[in-house]
């Protein structure tokens, strides 16, 4: 499972000229589901994203989580995080999970965040979306559960 996480002042997703989800201060999570991912990767990635300490405290250090600052999450499905351009310029997506499985695990990720009491907005799975955001910092992090699979997740 791959997550590209951006700290934002505000963000929204528009589908067919209608706002599908929007947040103020918080984190935008572009989430890709890999072919070999399961609920263990969902649990690990959701816990990692929810616990990220990327908001500044009174001393200006990044030591606060979204929950600490009353921030929300905007989670957007992003299968292109599994795009590979190793051979040529046209991306291949062989590492991405099939759409039905990806949607199931994407939904489980959203529910894990909500289950921990977080405010979570979403885009629309498999839709063409316009994602608008104001990156605060900028702060952008890349999280990949494959990097820790050898440690038992």
> Within 13 A of 98's CA, how many CA atoms are on the CB side?
2
The domain made up of 2-145 has a fold known as 3.50.80
Q: Please work out, in degrees rounded to the nearest 5, the angle formed at the alpha carbon of residue 146 by the alpha carbons of 81 and 3.
A: 40
* 122 assigned to active site: no
- The packing angle between helices 39-51 and 99-115, to 10°, is 40
* Active-site residue identified among 41, 78, 109, 122: 78
2-15 and 18-23 beta bridge pairing:
antiparallel
CA neighbor of 65 nearest in space, from 57, 73, 53: 53
pLDDT tens track for 66-121: 999 999 999 999 999 999 999 999 999 999 999 999 999 999 999 999 999 999 99
Among 55, 73, 79, 109, the one annotated catalytic: 79
Annotated catalytic, 125? Answer: no
pLDDT digits (tens, 9 = 90+) for 10-69: 999 999 999 999 999 999 999 999 999 999 999 999 999 999 999 999 999 999 999 999
Eight-state DSSP code of residue 127: S
User: Does 119 participate in catalysis according to the annotation?
Assistant: no
pTM score of the predicted model: 0.94
């Amino acid at each position: 499972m791959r997550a590209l996480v951006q700290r934002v002042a505000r963000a929204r997703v528009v589908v067919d000229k209608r706002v599908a989800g929007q947040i103020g201060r918080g984190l935008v999570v572009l989430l890709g589901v890999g072919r070999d991912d399961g609920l263990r990767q969902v649990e690990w990635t959701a816990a990692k994203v929810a616990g990220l300490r990327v908001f500044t405290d009174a001393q200006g250090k990044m030591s606060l989580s979204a929950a600490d600052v009353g921030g929300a999450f905007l989670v957007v499905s992003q299968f292109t995080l599994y795009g590979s351009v190793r051979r040529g310029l046209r991306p291949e997506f062989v590492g991405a999970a099939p759409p039905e499985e990806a949607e199931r695990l994407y939904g489980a990720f959203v529910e894990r965040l909500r289950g921990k009491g977080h405010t979570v907005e979403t885009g629309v799975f498999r839709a063409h979306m316009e994602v608008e955001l104001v990156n605060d910092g900028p702060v952008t992090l890349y999280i990949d559960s494959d990097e820790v699979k050898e440690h038992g997740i």
